[in-house]
Structure 1
C-alpha cells in the first residue's frame, strides 16, 4: 500500500487546484448546504442603530456610562451563614444587543477620556 504516495498526491492537488475548479469537482450534495438562518429584521436594525449612535456630547456620554453597567447586574453568589449555596451566572450575554450596548458604553468612555480629557475611573 502506498499511503505516502496517495497522501502527497492529494495534498499537492489541494494546494494547487483553483477554488472554483475544486468546487466543480465536488459532489452536488456538498455544494448545496443550507444557508444559516437570517436574524430578525428588527434586531438587525436596532443593532445597526446602536452601532451608529454618535457620541459627541459630554452629557450624553456621562448618561450612557451611568446607565449601561460595566458588569452584569444579575450575577450573584447566594450565601447563607457565610457559605455559598449557589451562583447565579451572568445573564447579560443572552441579551441580543449586548455587544452593541457594551460597544456604545466603550465609545462613550473613550470620548470622555480622549476628547474631553476627563477621568473615567468612576465608571469602571
Structure 2
C-alpha cells in the first residue's frame, strides 16, 4: 500500500510542478489578457474574515491562501500583468484597491 501512496504522491507533485512551470512561462503580450489576469486574481486573500456577533468581536478566520500551492505563482503572475499594463501606459490604480 505504501508503494501506491508513494506513486500517487510523486504523480501529484510532478503535476503541480508542471502547472507551476506553465504559470512561470506564461507570457503577457496583450492588454486584454493582462487585464483579465488582474481581474481574476485578487490582490489580497479573500478568505480572511473577522467574526462578529451583535457587534462583538468573536474571532478571526486566518487567511487560507498560503495553503494554496499556487498562491505565490499567482501573485507573481498578477504582478507581471500589472507591470505590463504600466509599461504600455495603462492606469493601474483601479486594480490596486
Q: TM-score range by the shorter chain?
A: 0.7 to 0.9
Distance 1:70 1:89 in 2: 16
Higher relative contact order (CA 8 A, sep 6+): 2
Which segments of 5 or more consecutive residues in structure 2 lack a partner in the other structure?
1-9
> Deviations 1:30-81 (Å, cap 9, x if unpaired)?
xxxxxxxx78100000000001100111000000000000000111001122
Equivalent residue for 1:106, pick from 72, 79, 90: 79
TM-score, normalised on structure 2?
Answer: 0.84
- What CA RMSD, in Å, does the superposition of the two structures yield over aligned residues? 1.5
Question: Which protein shows a greater Rg?
Answer: 1
Distance 1:55 1:84 in 2: 43
In the alignment, what sits opposite 1:122?
Answer: 94
Distance 2:93 2:63 in 1: 23
In the alignment, what sits opposite 1:24?
Answer: none
Give aligned pairs, total: 87
Which segments of 5 or more consecutive residues in structure 1 lack a partner in the other structure?
1-37
Equivalent residue for 2:68, pick from 78, 95, 98: 95
Distance 1:60 1:84 in 2: 41
